[in-house]
Amino acid sequence: MAKGYAKSMLFNGAMKGLSHLQNRASTNGPDSAKAVDNTQGSNSADGHTASGESGHYLGDTDRAALAKSMDTLNQQLIKRMESGLFKSHKEAAEWLHDNGFVLTEQSGAEIYARIFERADGFAVGTVITSYHTSRIDVVDMSRSVSSGRLVADWHTHPAVGAANFSQQDYQTRLDRYVSFKDYWNPSSGLRHYDGFKAWSTLGYNPSPALPDMTLDHGDKFSSCIKGGC
Q: What's the pLDDT tens digit per position in 6-48?
A: 444 443 443 333 333 333 333 333 333 333 333 444 333 333 2
Please give the pLDDT value at position 163: 67
Average pLDDT, the chain: 80
Whether pLDDT at 223 is above 70: yes
Judging by DSSP bridges, how do beta strands 128-129 and 175-180 pair with one another?
unpaired
If one counts the domains in the chain, the total is 1
List b or e across 172-188, with b for residues whose CB sees 16 or more CB atoms inside 10 angstroms. bbbbbbbbbbbeeeeeb
Asked if residue 40 lies in contact with residue 136, where contact means CB atoms within 8 angstroms, the answer is yes
Kindly state the DSSP code that residue 195 receives in the 8-state scheme.
H
Kindly state the DSSP code that residue 168 receives in the 8-state scheme.
G
Residue 114 domain boundaries: 5-227
Report pLDDT digits (tens) over 180-202: 988 777 789 999 999 999 999 99
Q: What is the mean pLDDT of residues 106-124?
A: 98
Q: What is the dihedral of CA 171, 177, 183, 188, to 10 degrees?
A: -170
Cα 169 to chain centroid, rounded: 10
Whether pLDDT at 218 is above 50: yes
Please give the pLDDT value at position 185: 75
Q: What is the mean pLDDT of residues 92-110?
A: 97
Please give the pLDDT value at position 50: 34
Rounded-to-integer distance, Cα 221 and Cα 191, Å: 10
Q: What is the mean pLDDT of residues 132-157?
A: 95
Residue 98 amino acid letter? D
pTM (two decimals): 0.78
More confident residue, 25 or 168: 168
Whether pLDDT at 99 is above 50: yes
Share of the chain above pLDDT 90, in %: 65
Report pLDDT digits (tens) over 41-59: 433 333 323 333 478 999 9
